[in-house]
Amino acid sequence: MRRLQPVLLLILTLVPSIAAGQSPQRDGGVYRWNGSQWDQIDGLATRIAVGPDGSPWVVNSRNEIYRRENGVFQRLPGAATDIAAGEDGSIWIIGTDARAYQWAGEDWRVTNGVGIAIAVDGAGDPWLVGRSAEIYRWRGGDFARQDGGALDIGAANDVWVIGTDNVVYQFVGGGWVGKGGSGRRISAGRDGTAWVINDAGEIYRWADGSFQRLPGTAMDVAVNANGEAWMVGSTQRNRSRGRR
């Protein structure tokens, strides 16, 4: 990746400010996991991240970005296609220009990264999936290429990917170890867990060496270091039988 001097960039959009995700034909509902089922809150979205305080950040089908504060979604500047939150509170997005940006408190700081998906590990460093499925890791202010290829990535204390073969992999000892199953979106949870969405929208959680089916169907799922999980989708079970 070509190194660029980071600058502060406020990404302006021309879409008027509205309630989070008013596009029901394309967005999913926003839900919080209570340990046994999903509780719906207000808002609609296509992508979601969870900060260390348990508050969700979402992107809707219009690429608008919202942060939930004091029980209300607040519109933020910019436009994104993916969003991620770190244990240290750092927030990263993939902009509509495919560039990686970091939240700087009032606007977004552009980096040299280019990709389609992003996650932030327990040290606050982002991992990026490039446009040709390459995997990059933030090292010393730059994105460095890693081995392997991915369609999506999740990071916490452990890093997980959906490989280009749709199989779930965990980063162990400097390499990728296959865990089986099949997915299209993934989020890393606490204590070596991972939450996976397959092609049918079914939700699975990897824990204690196996996949556990959870209720609902989703287009995205996010978990923070405290194990607080949110998803965008529906609590209606998908009738099609998908693969893990």
What digits encode the pLDDT tens for the residues 13-71?
Answer: 323 333 343 344 589 999 999 999 999 999 999 999 999 999 999 999 999 999 999 99
**Could you tell me if 171 and 148 are in contact, meaning their C-beta atoms sit under 8 angstroms apart?**
no
Distance, CA of 50 to CA of 52 (rounded, Å): 7
Q: Distance (Å, rounded) from C-alpha 154 to C-alpha 197? A: 12
Residue 134's pLDDT is what? Answer: 98
Please tell me the distance from the alpha carbon of residue 137 to that of residue 50, in angstroms, as a whole number: 20
Q: How far apart are CA 26 and CA 45, in angstroms?
A: 8
Average pLDDT over residues 82-91: 96
Is the per-residue pLDDT at 187 higher than 80?
A: yes
What single letter denotes the amino acid at residue 164? T
pLDDT tens for 152-170 read 999 999 999 999 999 999 9
Q: pLDDT digit string (tens) for 112-167?
A: 999 999 999 999 999 999 999 999 999 989 999 999 999 999 999 999 999 999 99
CATH class of 7-13+22-234: mainly beta
| Residue 25 confidence (pLDDT) | 52
**Phi/psi of residue 11, each to 5°?**
-90, 115
How high is the pLDDT of residue 5? Answer: 40
Contact 220, 185 (CB under 8 A): yes
Please say whether the dihedral angle defined by the alpha carbons of residues 175, 181, 183 and 187, taken in this order, is positive or negative.
Answer: negative
Which pairs with CB-CB distance under 8 Å and at least 24 residues apart come from 233-238? 233/28, 233/29, 233/31, 233/201, 233/203, 234/28, 234/29, 235/29, 235/31, 235/37, 235/38, 235/40, 238/200, 238/201, 238/202
